[in-house]
Amino acid sequence: MASSSSLLLAAAVLAALLAVGSCGTALTFTVGEGSSSTSLKLVTNVAISEVEVKEKGAPDWTELKESPTNTWTLDSKAPLKGPFSVRFAVKNAGYRVVDDVIPAEFKAGSVYKTSIQI
């Protein structure tokens, strides 16, 4: 049977792990100025890389081009179809996907929050 000091130590370790795991900033996407039915500009609040979006019903991901830091752009000849899922890379953390984070009726200046902590 475990002693009370062992249980206390285990509880402290668990609390520390939970506290460290919950640290970070929640990733947000802001639709940038100049976005339209054929252009989507996303500005992130944290550094991410290799950003791609998947339009509603699309079988494949489309890569966005990085403009200034933390700004990603997709220009299309055809109208874009939302909602959009976003796939991106995080340094030392691999790829992440956020499904349907940008709605079909996006507007420049709108901010869309995710539950992903970076």
DSSP H/E element including 74: strand 71-75
pLDDT in tens, 48-91: 989 999 999 999 999 999 988 899 999 999 999 999 999 999 88
pLDDT in tens, 75-84: 999 999 999 9
Q: Which domains does the chain have, with CATH numbers?
A: 25-117 (2.60.40.760)
For residue 91, what pLDDT is reported? 80
On average, the pLDDT of the chain sits at: 86
pTM for the complete prediction? 0.77
Please check the confidence at residue 18 and state whether its pLDDT lies above 50: no
More confident residue, 9 or 109: 109
